[in-house]
Amino acid sequence: MHDNLPKLFQPIDLGPTSLSNRIVMAPLTRSRADENDAPREMHVEYYRQRATAGLIIAEATQITQQGKGYAFTPGIHSDLQVERWQKVTDAVHEAGGKMFLQLWHVGRISHPDLQPNGGLPVAPSAVKPDVKAFTETGFKDIPEPRALAADELPGIVEDYRRAAQNAKNAGFDGVEVHSANGYLLDQFLRDKTNRRHDTFGGSIDNRMRFPLQVVDAVTEVWGPEHVGIRISPVSPANDCADSDPEPLFRAYVRELSERGLAYLHVIEGATRGPRQVEGAFDVTTLKQEFSGLYIGNNGYDRALAISAVEEGKTDLVAFGRPFISNPDLVERLKSNAPLAEWDETTFYGGGEHGYTDYPPLSAGARAAQA
């Protein structure tokens, strides 16, 4: 039945979760949550429109207020947030889709305006990032963060565990642990941001300790077959880097593989930048270290996605910005129809304009492509 279709458009099993195709909607921060950091009605429609993706990974969602780093992003730590996310997952499931929630703690990429009681953002070490924070009153310089004490870390592990349970209660099919793009878990992994001298810093094993504790807590809630993880081994996003990333990430991926996670979601190259970073190792080779499915992400177009899956370089392909302006992206890619252009001015904040009002391909246009 599917023999004449490229593999990209054929079903695949993600552990016990059956996906209708191998196209993933990447997590996309859109900054449209309400004053309680809860999804609105428009989130229900936005995700429902995109439910033909094999898998939707919901936008990065903070596990606590301490984990928040951007204005108007949703959380998964209150009853109201769980209730609102349930409406989203119900709509996606009714439309035949599958949906994981991305669990997020930003660490130092925040601002006192966004933190509980106006406190400092937290981090493995007191290293100030050279980036700005998006607050409700605009972009602001991030102050030097407060280094977390070792005895605070078990509490954050429990925050992840609680958030994972809340995601289950909200009807998601699984969760993705956000360990990429210079946020808290990535900050612990990489030596530019982790300068600790205790059992959570120094050696690769020590730097992996806290992120792996988080993964273990989340898999205790869900079972590893419902848990994925996102990494960005060579991306300079959010002023995060490592002096020798290849041995670090090979060791990390081997540990993740031993835990039986459902998938490894890799940002290949620089986040929202080139797929190749000068002098960096080829992160796609991490697929060989991992027992589950591999999701390739960054700058894929139709041709690259089809060939990468056919050649076994990736199992699934994540698309980000194309899903913003093409709610029916899967159908457009399948029929090789032109893609609608996005309006970048509507990416972050605002209402339904630039969010739920991108039209699907008309029946006439589909017929012309056939």
pLDDT band at 131 (very low <50, low <70, confident <90, very high): very high
Asked whether residue 206 carries a pLDDT value surpassing 60, the answer given is yes
- What average pLDDT does this structure show over 100-124? 98
Per-residue pLDDT, 2: 56
Q: Active-site residue numbers?
A: 183
Listed range (178-187, 189-198, 272-281, 322-331) with the worst mean pLDDT: 272-281
Instruction: Evaluate the CA torsion angle 124, 128, 131, 137 in order and state its sign.
Output: positive
Per-residue pLDDT, 369: 52
Asked whether residue 278 carries a pLDDT value surpassing 90, the answer given is no
Tell if the pTM clears 0.75, that is, is over it. Answer: yes
- What average pLDDT does this structure show over 66-82? 98
Per-residue pLDDT, 364: 46
Which of 41-45, 234-238, 268-272 is modeled with the greatest confidence? 41-45
Per-residue pLDDT, 100: 98
pLDDT band at 17 (very low <50, low <70, confident <90, very high): very high
Asked whether residue 370 carries a pLDDT value surpassing 70, the answer given is no
Q: Are 88 and 58 in contact (CB under 8 A)?
A: yes
How many whole angstroms separate alpha carbon 53 and alpha carbon 34? 26
Per-residue pLDDT, 365: 55
Listed range (20-34, 125-139, 264-278) with the worst mean pLDDT: 264-278
- What average pLDDT does this structure show over 239-255? 97
User: What value, to the nearest 5°, has the Cα angle with vertex 179 and ends 10 and 162?
Assistant: 95
Per-residue pLDDT, 367: 45
Q: Where are the domains of the chain?
A: 7-369
For 326-362, b where at least 16 C-beta lie within 10 A, e where not — what string?
bbbbbbbbbeebebbebeeebbbeeeeebbbebebbe
Beta-carbon neighbour count of residue 258 at 10 Å?
12
Q: What rounded mean pLDDT belongs to the chain?
A: 95
Per-residue pLDDT, 244: 96
Asked whether residue 341 carries a pLDDT value surpassing 50, the answer given is yes
pLDDT in tens, 82-109: 999 999 999 999 999 999 999 999 999 9
Share of the chain above pLDDT 70, in %: 96
User: What value, to the nearest 5°, has the Cα angle with vertex 21 and ends 15 and 25?
Assistant: 90
Instruction: Evaluate the CA torsion angle 291, 261, 301, 277 in order and state its sign.
Output: negative
Higher pLDDT, 288 or 4: 288
Per-residue pLDDT, 280: 73
CATH of 7-369, one of 3.20.20.70, 3.40.50.970, 1.10.1740.10, 1.10.8.420: 3.20.20.70
